[in-house]
Amino acid sequence: MKERTLYTLFAALLLGVSAPAFAAPAMVTITSPAEGAKLDAMAQNKISYEVVPGPKGDHVHLYVDGKEMAVLRQLKGTYTMDTLAAGNREICIKVVEKNHTPIGVEKCVKVTVQ
């Protein structure tokens, strides 16, 4: 078992994946906007996030109300969204594989655009 773990970590290093990122479970954090935030319909609002893709994830996609809005290659950062229509909106970041298929790890926040 110990040899298998060492082999896996060695293989990850050869592929350019850091050992902590490879071993860590996938997770998504949205730091802004907060759940229930009120956003300005006339502004280009920003989303701030941090992602650990886990062993199956590659990058993330941004969705608004279930519609894909952007492909995000950075695992931590801020993205400026296009203006949003007024009303209640759900903004999600989903971890996806290289072929853009979601792996089931996501974080969503519900906001009100005025």
Q: Where are the domains of the chain?
A: 25-113
Full 3-state SS string of 28-82: EEEEECCCCCEECCCCCCEEEEEEECCCCCCEEEEEECCEEEEEECCCEEEEECC
In the prediction, which pLDDT does 6 show? 43
CATH architecture of 25-113: Sandwich (2.60)
Q: What pLDDT is recorded for position 12? A: 52
| pLDDT of res. 24 | 85
Residue 81: per-residue pLDDT:
95
Q: In terms of Cα–Cα distance, which of 6, 30, 2, 15 is closest to 98?
A: 15
Q: How far apart are CA 12 and CA 22, in angstroms?
A: 7
Alpha-carbon gap, residue 43 to 38, rounded angstroms: 12
Give the pLDDT of residue 2: 52
Largest Cα–Cα distance of the chain, in whole Å? 57
Look at residue 106 in the predicted model and tell me its pLDDT.
Answer: 97
pLDDT by residue for the chain (114 residues), tens digit each?
Answer: 455 444 454 555 555 555 454 568 999 999 999 999 999 999 999 999 999 999 999 999 999 999 999 999 899 999 999 999 999 999 999 999 999 999 999 999 999 999
Confirm if 71 and 61 have CB atoms less than 8 A apart: yes
